[in-house]
Amino acid sequence: MIVWREWWQRLRGALGSRAEHTDLDEELSAHLAMLTDEHAAQGMTPAEAARAARLALGGQQQIKEAYQDQHGIPFVESLWHDLRHAARSLRSNPGFSTVVLLTMALGIGVNTSVFSVLYSAWLAPMRYADPSSLVDASVKNLQNGWQTGGTTWANFADWSSANQAFTGLGAYRIQHLASLTGGGEPEEVSLARVSANLFPLLGVAPALGRGLAEMDDRAEGGRSAVLSHGYWRTHFDGNPGVLGRSISVDGEAFTIVGVMPEGFAFPPGWPVAYQPPLWLSLNLTPEQRTQRGSHSLGVVGRRRPGVSLGQAQAEMEAIVSRLAAAYPPENSGYGAWITPLSETRQAREVRPALALLMAGACLVLLIACANVANLLLVRGAARRREFAIRQALGVSGGRLLRQVLTESALLGLLGGAAGLIVAGVCLPLLQALLPRSMPHMAEVRLNPAVLAFSAACSLGCGLLFGLAPAFRASRVSIEQALRQSARTIAPRSRLARGLVVAEMGLALVLLTTGGLLTESFRRVSSVSFGFDREHVLTMRVTLPKQKYGSAAGILAFRRDLLAKAAQLPGITAVGTVDAIPLGTLSSGTDFDIEGRAAQPRLHCGLGKVSGDYLRAMGIPLRAGRYFTDGDRAGTERVAVVSESVSRRYWPQGGAVGRRIRLDETGRNDWFTVVGVVSDVRHLRADRPPEETIYALNDQMDEATQKNATSRLNVLVVRTANDPAGLAASLRLALREVDPGQPAADLMTMDQLVDRNIAGRKLNAFLLGSFSVLALVLAAIGLFGAVSAMVAGRSAEIGVRMALGAGPGSVAILVLREAGTLAVAGLLLGALGAAAAGRVLQGFLYDVHPGDPTVLAGVAGVLGLAMIAATVTPIRRALGVDPLSVLRED
C-alpha cells in the first residue's frame, strides 16, 4: 500500500501543475530570505549576507531537480523533455521534416493498405467460440493423396459415435446456383444446408429467433431457414417480424426461424460473392440417411481439450479404415484428412498472391527507411558541432543517443499517422481492384489490428532508421568537430553509400518483379480465347428441379427464352450452352469413335448447346458447317468438334463425316460430325484450350435433357451495338418467360474475361506501382548521396577547376561516383532478382524469370533514373567558383 502511495505521489509530481512548481519557488525564496536575515544579524552587509545565504542553501536549480527526482518519475520527465526538444528541432527544419514525413507516409501507407487485405483474408480470427479447436474433417484419395471432399450421412453418424477426440461433429452441404424468392426480386445464390448441431458446435447463437431443431435433420421435420444478418437487413429491412415468414428455394418453401449475428459467415474463407445468405435444414430422406456412396457432406469438428491435431488425425484414420473394411464398395480407397478450420481450401488459394504483395510492400518500406536513414546521416553530419558542444558541456553520449533516437521515433510515428491518411485513400481503390475470389473483402478496413500493425511498423521503422545516426551522434570527437569549420561537411560515409547501394538493389528487385508480372499480364490478356469477345452478352439461368423436373418443361423454357431474346432489337445471333467459357465449369463425357476399339476409353469436354450458340459466341468455323434449324429432335444426330479433337483422332482425313457415340447420351446412337470449330480456352486464360464436342440439347435422350447440367443454361446473345445496353431488356425477356426465375451473371464476355484475369491484373498493377515508387525513392537516395559528395568535395572540385579541369572532367567525376553506387546496387539487386524469379515462376504466364527483354528494360529504366539523379549535382559541381573556394580555405 505504501509503495502504491509513493508511486501515486511520484506520478502527481511528474504531472504536477504550475501552481505546485510556484509553491516550491516560494518556499525556496522564503528559506533564502531567512538565511539572509540570519547572516545580516551576525553583522554582515546585505550583499555579504545574501551571498552567504546562497552558498549555504546551495543551487536552487539543483534543489528543484533533486526534489523532482524524489517526487516525480525522472524517466518520464526526461522523455517528455526529449520529445519537446525533438519537436522543436523538427519545426526548425521544415523542409527536412516534410521530405522525411512524406517518404515514411508512402512506405507505411502502402504496407498498412496491403496488410489490411492480408489480415482480413488470412490472419483475422474466425468469429466462432475458441476457433483454434475447430477442424475440417474431410477424406482423401489414398491413391494420389489429394483432398477429395466430405462424406455421407451414414458415415458421419459412425464418425460421431466412434470418435473420442471431438466434443462434437457438425455436417453441412453446399448447394450452388439455387433460385431464391420471397425476399424481393428472384435471385440466384449459393447456400448451405446444415445439421441442427452445427451452430451450437461453432459456439454462435442466432441474434434473433432460434437455430435449427434436431428434427429438422430428417425429411419429416420442418423446412427451416436461418438468415444471415446482411440478407435480413437488405431484403427484409431488419424487420424482427420476419420470423415465421416463408421463403422459397428452388420452388420449395422454408420457414424463417432465426437470424444470425452480424459478421457471422460459414463456411469460413469463402469469397463474399459466394457466401451463403441463409442456411437451410438438411431434411434428409431415409434413403439419404443410409446411403454411403455420395460423399457430399462437409464435416466440422471441435477437438477436446488436450487433444492435438495429430491425435485427432490418427483416430479418424482408424475410423475411416474400419468403415472401408466394413463397406468396401463405397469407402475403399479413402483416408482421413483433418486440418484446422481456418485452413480452408478457398482461403489457401489467395495466400501466395497476398504474400507476394506484402513482400513487395515491405521492400518499398525498407527502401523508404534507407532513404530516411541517409537523410538523417546527412543532417547528423551538419549537427556535429552541436553534438560536440553539448558533450563539452557535460551531456553524456548515452543521453545524445537517446535524444536522436527520440527524434527518429517521433518522425516514424508522425510518418505513420500520415501513412494512415495514405492508407485511407488507397483502401477504396484497392478494394475496387480485388478479384471476386478474395475472401472477406467487405471486412477490409482500418480495424484495431491494422492500426496496431501500423503503429508498431511506424515505431520500429523510426528506431531502425535512427540507429546509425544515433550511434554517430553519441561518438562525436569533440576536438575534431570543434576544429571543423561550419562550412565543411563530414567525409563521405561508407554507411551512407552502403544504404544507397541497398536502395538501388531493392529497387532493381521490385522493378524486375513488376516488369515480369506486367509482361505476363500483357501476354495473358492478349491470348486468343478461340471466340470473338466483342458485342457478346451472357446471362445464366439455373432451373430448379422441383419446377423443371421433366425434359419437356426444360425444352419448352429454353425454346421460349431463345424466341424472346431473338426478338430484341440489335440481336444478330442467340443461343444457350450449359457452361460458358471462363464462366462455369464444363461437363465432360467419354466417347467412342466408329471403327475404333472400345478400349481405352476416350474423354473430352462436352458442350450441350441450343439455338445458334456457336455463331453467337463467334467461334470460327474451320471445316464443315455450324448447326442449322434443320438439326432438331427426330433428325440425324449431329455434332461439331474442336480443332484439337479433329487433329488428335483424325489426323489424316479430318473429322467431318465421321461418327462418334457419347456416354452422356447412354451410348445409344451415333452422332455424325458436321463441323470443326476453333479451340476455346474454357477454364482460364492461362490454361491451354480444351478438347470439346458440341451437341444439341434437342437431340439428347430424355434422361440427359432433364439432368442437372441440362437445367443449367447460359444464354448468349451477339449484338450489333453495345451489349451492356441490352441487359435490362434481356432480364425482362426472362421475366416474361418465367416471372419467378432469377437471372445471374448478366455480363458481357469482355467482363467475363476481365474477371478471369483480375488476379493477374491486380498483381501487375500493385507490384508495378510499388516498383515505380521504389525507383523514385532510390533515385532520391542516389541524388542525396551524390549531392553530399559534391558538397563535401567542393574544395577539391574548385582546385581541379583552378588547375584547368574542364566541365567534362568535373561531370565525369560526379558520374563516376553515381555510377559506382549504381553498379554496386545492380550487382546486389541481380542476386535478389534471381532469387525472386524462382518465387515468381508460379505467377508468370509465357514469361521466363530471366526474360532478356524485361531485364534490358529494367536496366534502361535504372540507367535513366541514375542520369536524372545526377543532373542537378553536376550543375552544382560546375557552378563551384574556384576563387571563392580557395579564398574560404
For residue range 281-305, list pLDDT tens digits in order. Answer: 999 999 888 888 878 889 999 999 9
Q: In this predicted model, what pLDDT tens digit does every residue of 476-509 receive, in sequence order?
A: 555 555 555 444 444 456 777 888 888 888 999 9
pLDDT tier, 61 (very low <50, low <70, confident <90, very high otherwise): low
pLDDT tier, 5 (very low <50, low <70, confident <90, very high otherwise): low
Domain residue ranges in the chain: 2-72, 131-341, 350-525+758-888, 536-721
Q: Kindly tell me if the per-residue pLDDT of 609 is higher than 90.
A: yes
The predicted pLDDT at position 144 comes to 65
Mean pLDDT, residues 586-602 taken together: 82
The more confidently predicted of residues 541 and 465 is: 541
What secondary structure letter does DSSP report for 296? -
Q: Kindly tell me if the per-residue pLDDT of 13 is higher than 60.
A: no
Coil/strand/helix, residue 195:
coil
Residue 437: all three cell numbers together? 475470389
The predicted pLDDT at position 380 comes to 61
Which burial class, exposed, middle or buried, applies to 597 when counting CB atoms under 10 A from its CB (0-12, 13-18, 19+)? Answer: exposed
Residue 722's nearest CA partner among 751, 745, 757, 682 is 751
Which burial class, exposed, middle or buried, applies to 298 when counting CB atoms under 10 A from its CB (0-12, 13-18, 19+)? Answer: buried
- Give percent helix, percent strand, percent coil of the chain, each to the nearest 5: 55, 15, 25
**DSSP letter string over 301-369?**
EEEPTT--HHHHHHHHHHHHHHHHHHSHHHHTTEEEEEEETTS-HHHHHHHHHHHHHHHHHHHHHHHHH
Q: In this predicted model, what pLDDT tens digit does every residue of 72-114 receive, in sequence order?
A: 455 455 666 666 766 777 777 777 778 888 888 999 999 999 9
The predicted pLDDT at position 487 comes to 45
The predicted pLDDT at position 737 comes to 94
Give the H/E segment covering residue 756. Answer: helix 749-756
The predicted pLDDT at position 18 comes to 47
Mean pLDDT, residues 666-691 taken together: 88
Q: Kindly tell me if the per-residue pLDDT of 177 is higher than 70.
A: yes
Euclidean distance between CA atoms 774 and 862, whole angstroms: 11
Q: Kindly tell me if the per-residue pLDDT of 749 is higher than 90.
A: yes
Euclidean distance between CA atoms 623 and 691, whole angstroms: 16
Q: Give the highest mean pLDDT range of 339-348, 362-371, 475-484, 794-803.
A: 362-371
The predicted pLDDT at position 390 comes to 62
Q: Give the highest mean pLDDT range of 212-226, 393-407, 440-454, 840-854.
A: 212-226
Q: Kindly tell me if the per-residue pLDDT of 6 is higher than 50.
A: no
Name the pTM for this structure.
0.80
How far is C-alpha 131 from the geometric centre of its chain's CA atoms? 22
**Mean pLDDT, rounded, of the chain:** 83
Strand partners, 249: 180, 252
The more confidently predicted of residues 403 and 254 is: 254
The predicted pLDDT at position 586 comes to 72
Residue 413: all three cell numbers together? 510515428
The more confidently predicted of residues 806 and 154 is: 154
pLDDT tier, 29 (very low <50, low <70, confident <90, very high otherwise): confident
Percent of the chain clearing pLDDT 70 (strictly above): 84
Q: Kindly tell me if the per-residue pLDDT of 413 is higher than 70.
A: yes
Q: Kindly tell me if the per-residue pLDDT of 344 is higher than 80.
A: no
Residue 591's nearest CA partner among 531, 658, 683, 657 is 658
Residue 262's nearest CA partner among 204, 304, 319 is 204
The predicted pLDDT at position 486 comes to 43
Out of 166-170, 547-551, 615-619, which region has the weakest mean confidence (pLDDT)? Answer: 547-551
Say which residues have a Cβ less than 8 Å from residue 92's Cβ, sequence separation at least 6.
none
Residue 715's nearest CA partner among 558, 571, 586 is 558
The single-letter code of the amino acid at 838 is R
Mean pLDDT, residues 684-689 taken together: 87
Strand partners, 676: 623, 641
Out of 213-222, 699-708, 740-749, which region has the weakest mean confidence (pLDDT)? Answer: 699-708
Out of 190-204, 766-780, 871-885, which region has the weakest mean confidence (pLDDT)? Answer: 871-885
The predicted pLDDT at position 483 comes to 55
The predicted pLDDT at position 869 comes to 82
The predicted pLDDT at position 146 comes to 67
Q: At what angle do helices 94-118 and 448-474 cross, to 10 degrees?
A: 140
Q: Kindly tell me if the per-residue pLDDT of 4 is higher than 70.
A: no
The predicted pLDDT at position 489 comes to 43
Residue 220 and residue 229 in contact, taking contact as beta carbons nearer than 8 Å = no
Neighbouring C-beta atoms of residue 287, cutoff 10 Å: 8
pLDDT tier, 887 (very low <50, low <70, confident <90, very high otherwise): low
Q: Kindly tell me if the per-residue pLDDT of 17 is higher than 50.
A: no
